[in-house]
């Protein structure tokens, strides 16, 4: 990387909408690796009885029932 060049990183965040994340977000140098990690988090949530309400390439909203605030897992691109 040359001096002054900005490196793009992809940050995976999991949280309840409207609240700060429960844990530190994890960053990756490639979108593919971030997606793999995001998919692992989604599988864990599904195993904990969440179901997918909305899914995009870089964003997933899951909930357990209509009274649940739900969980969001998303990839944020930084350093464009």
Q: Where are the domains of the chain?
A: 1-21+36-70
pLDDT the model gives residue 49: 96
Residue with tokens 């357990």: 64
pLDDT at 25: 92
Q: Are 23 and 8 in contact (CB under 8 A)?
A: no
**pLDDT at res. 79:** 83
Confidence of residue 69 (pLDDT cuts 50, 70, 90): very high
CA distance 12 to 37: 8
For the stretch 2-61, pLDDT in tens is 565 667 999 999 999 989 988 899 999 999 999 999 999 999 999 999 999 999 999 999
58 neighbors 45 (Cβ within 8 angstroms): no
């Amino acid at each position: 990387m040359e001096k002054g060049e900005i490196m793009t990183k992809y940050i995976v965040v999991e949280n309840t909408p409207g609240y700060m994340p429960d844990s530190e977000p994890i960053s990756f140098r490639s979108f593919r690796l971030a997606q793999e990690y995001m998919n692992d988090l989604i599988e864990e949530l599904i195993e904990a009885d969440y179901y997918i309400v909305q899914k995009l390439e870089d964003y997933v909203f899951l909930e357990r029932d209509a009274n649940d605030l739900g969980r969001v897992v998303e990839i944020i691109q930084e350093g464009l």
